[in-house]
Homo-oligomer: A and B are copies of this chain.
Amino acid sequence: MIVAMKRGVSGEELKDFIALLERQGLRIHCSQGLTQTVLGLVGDTSGVDEEALLAHHLVEKVLRVQEPYKRANRLFHPEDTRIDVPGPDGGLRHIGAGELGIIAGPCSVESREQIVLVAESVKKAGAGFLRGGVFKPRTSPYSFQGLGCKGLDLLLAAKRETGLPIVTEIMGIHQLEVFDGVDIIQVGARNMQNFTLLRELGRCRKPILLKRGLASTITELLMAAEYIMSGGNDRIILCERGIRTFDTYTRNTLDLSSIPALKRQSHLPVIVDPSHATGLAWMVPAMARAAVAAGADGLILEVHNNPEAALCDGEQSITLESFASLMGVLERYAEIEGKSLYRNPGTP
């Protein structure tokens, strides 16, 4: 970390300021130029509060050279992290480090027939994981809020019937106790900085699918991962799902440049959710292809047997047929990118 001091700082003031910094456990390298004094802060600066430094009346500017995250940082963990998820059959599914993880399923679990039908269909087409919402974060208190625990039971039934590990969203720490059978716990975009929840998930032993907040920077997403990792849970899957911009053609703006950015900064796998990002089913296949071409480690897609009758988010769900045909193209992209797609046992 580099601190540029204001002009005209006296020797006495400088000495006191350096002492202040040294009390935080840092070594200070001072460089006095003709017009400006610059301090280099050496040591672990991840706990140094940039804004607190800026508040000091002697400080002009601060430049952070080292990133504020450590466990999520590729610098200290150069090789890719791969998340291994056991299926009910004991076999492992992978996401990351060359393995493309495809998570598919309906926005909301609606009935046993629906979730099993979708699960079987996406499994046949090549999905490695089943997603399904049961506790739904809805903007309006008057909208359908998901089937709750009953929905979770249906999701678990579909897991038993198809052997697909399941992914579903958690809304608060009080729900952790019922998430026992869930294989990957999703943290939604609106909860990316729910620090209470993140801390608690750091103590749990399940992989976390962490969605980027609508207005979160690359650094903030990695700091949210760092919250969970600092508690001891290293199994994080980062998920780009669109950011909020001035453009309203799509629901949010899918930021595919976050894929190479996150993968350069971090060793964690990065997947993409084109369904929520665009909000437009007809656009999902193009964005799914682009995500894989940009280096994504996986996708999470909303797939519905009858999008028009979906209880929520129907306009962004693709059909079972559309999903199967997309998987065919993705396979060819994966090959070019040198990645492998999981093959469910018994599928061609």
Contacts and interface: CB of A to CB of B under 8 A. Distances in A.
Interface centre among A55, A141, A308 (most CB of B within 10 A): A141
A65 B246 CA distance: 21
A226 B174 CA distance: 23
Interface in A268-327: 277-279, 281-283, 286-287, 289-295, 307-308, 310-317
Interface stretch (A82-90, A123-131, A132-140): A132-140
Interface stretch (A94-102, A149-157, A256-264, A340-348): A256-264
B196 A52 contact: no
B4 A4 contact: no
A319 to B, nearest CB: 11
Contact of A215 (B49, B144, B196, B215): B215
Interface string A212-249: 01110111100100110010000000000001111111
A142 interface: yes
B254 A257 contact: yes
Contact of A218 (B194, B247, B332): B247
A248 to B, nearest CB: 7
Given A4-B65, A172-B173, A172-B197, 8 more contacts: A52-B310, A55-B310, A141-B227, A215-B244, A217-B247, A287-B294, A289-B294, A290-B290
A114 interface: no
Contacts of A307: 55
A191 to B, nearest CB: 7
**Among A253, A279, A295: residue with most chain B CB under 10 A:** A253
Contacts of A52: 310-315
A68 interface: yes
A272 B286 CA distance: 15
A47 B172 contact: no
Those 7 A-B pairs whose CB atoms lie nearest each other, nearest first: A55-B314, A215-B215, A31-B31, A55-B315, A293-B293, A172-B196, A290-B294
Contacts of A33: 29, 40, 42
A247 B256 contact: no
Contacts of A245: 243, 245-246, 253, 255
Contact of A40 (B36, B140, B246, B289): B36
Interface in A1-49: 2, 4, 27, 29, 31, 33-36, 38, 40, 42, 46-47, 49
Interface stretch (A56-64, A160-168, A178-186): A56-64
Contacts of A230: 141-142
B253 A249 contact: no
Contact of A190 (B36, B194, B289): B194
A23 to B, nearest CB: 12
Contacts of A174: 173-174, 196
Contacts of A121: none
Contacts of A286: 259-260, 293-295
Nearest to A264: B282
A194 B194 contact: yes
Given A140-B47, A141-B230, A243 B253 contact: yes
A2 B258 CA distance: 28
Nearest to A46: B142
A325 to B, nearest CB: 13
